[in-house]
Structure formats: C-alpha cells, structure tokens
Amino acid sequence: MKERTISINISKDLFGANEEAAEINTRTFEEHGVRAFDIMGSVGTGKTQLIEAMCDELSDKYRILMVAGDLATRIDANRVASHGIDTVQINTETACHLDARMVRVALREVDLSKYDVVFIENVGNLICPAGYPLGVDKKLVVVSITEGPYMIQKHPLTIKRADMVIINKVDLADAIGFDVDGLVKDVREVDANIPVFRVSAKNADGLQEVIQALNL
C-alpha cells in the first residue's frame, strides 16, 4: 500500500458518536503499537512541510504513515509521498475538519502492523478540528508568524485542547519585524504549562526539540 484516496460523506453516521469512534481508534493504535499524532493548523502554516521534515528525520528509525485531510485533491499527500512515505488521503468534500469516524474508515483497509508512527494532517482550519478528538496520542497545533500577532488570542480553545504548540516560520521573524516572544506570551496566558516550540520547518531549526517532546 503506497497511496490511497477516499471520499467521505459525513452525513452517514458510520461509527456512532465521534467520542466512541475516537476510543476505537485509540484501541486500534494501541493494539498495533502505533503512535499517532493529530497535526492541526490553518491553511498555509506549514503543517505539510513540518511533516515532511519530521519524516526525513525519522524514516530511517520508524515506519511512517501519513494521513492527509483536505476538502479536495491529494496535493499534500503527494508531497509527503515524494519522500518515500506511505499516504492515505481523506477528502472531506464539505467538512472543515476530520473526525474520528473518517479516520476509522480511512484506516479500515490499512495494515497498521506495518507502521510505527501515523501523522494525521487535519484539514486546514484553526477552529473546528479542536472539537473533534481522533483517538491519537497527541494533538499538535501549528501556527505561523505569517498569520499575524493575534491568532492565539482569537483561538484560545484550540490551544487549551492541544498538547503542544509549534510556532513555525520563525526564520522570517526579523525580516517582517514579528515579535515571537509576544506570541509565546499569548500562549502562556491561555495555558501556562503547554510546551511551545519555535521552529522553521523549512530549515529544520527546532525540529529535534519537537521530536524529543513526542518521544520519537
């Protein structure tokens, strides 16, 4: 299995409530010894590039599967696949987020015993994905300095429901005069204890700290 694409009709309640499906996913991942991660963030924050960079660092050590969520196309999945990573594409068509049922359906025909790590790139949206647990080990929120200085203040619930925050594109901070420290302060005002990482996925700066925090 190299590349798969499926379309999901969210009007069909395939596995009951999302919470129940998330529990099923958790058990399934645990039974196969798989570590799964939900990577959330707006369009253009660099989620795909972050996954590409992590795959480059980890593919010699772990067998990795990437699940890509988008309304349409498999553009992001193809980018990750070009690194030699197996991918599954979920095209939600109208939904602005993945839910646990979609993930369950997408992985139904995947032999998870072939993988150690699953990176799930959620649909590009900083709001809706936070309310739908997928049954993963950790939820990562990726924000970028190109989104402006207020994205944390405007989306506190997303931060509260995440396990770590990755501030991406910090290599551009000086060029655009962005106050990264101020963004970190905003995160701390929402959750004083959540891990925050300053990263340039393009240059792999700060990537090792993220990988260590994921215990990979």
Q: Is the pLDDT of residue 6 over 70?
A: no
Look at the chain and report how many structural domains it folds into: 1
Q: Is the pLDDT of residue 61 over 60?
A: yes
The pLDDT tens digits of the residues spanning 122-153 come to 999 999 888 899 999 999 999 999 999 999 99
- Computed on alpha carbons and rounded to an integer, the radius of gyration of the chain in Å comes to 16
Mean pLDDT of the chain: 93
Q: What pLDDT does 13 receive?
A: 52
Domain extent, residue 118, equals: 3-213
Q: How many CB atoms lie within 10 A of CB 22?
A: 21
Contact 58, 64 (CB under 8 A): yes
Q: Cβ distance 70 to 89 under 8 Å?
A: yes
Q: Which CATH number fits the domain that encloses residue 186? A: 3.40.50.300
- pLDDT tens column, 170-207: 999 999 999 999 999 999 999 999 999 999 999 999 99
Confidence band for 14, pLDDT divided at 50, 70 and 90: very low
DSSP 98: -
DSSP 156-201: HHHHHT-SEEEEE-GGGHHHHT--HHHHHHHHHHH-TTS-EEE-BT
Specify whether the CB–CB gap between 35 and 118 falls below 8 A: yes
Q: The pTM is what? A: 0.91
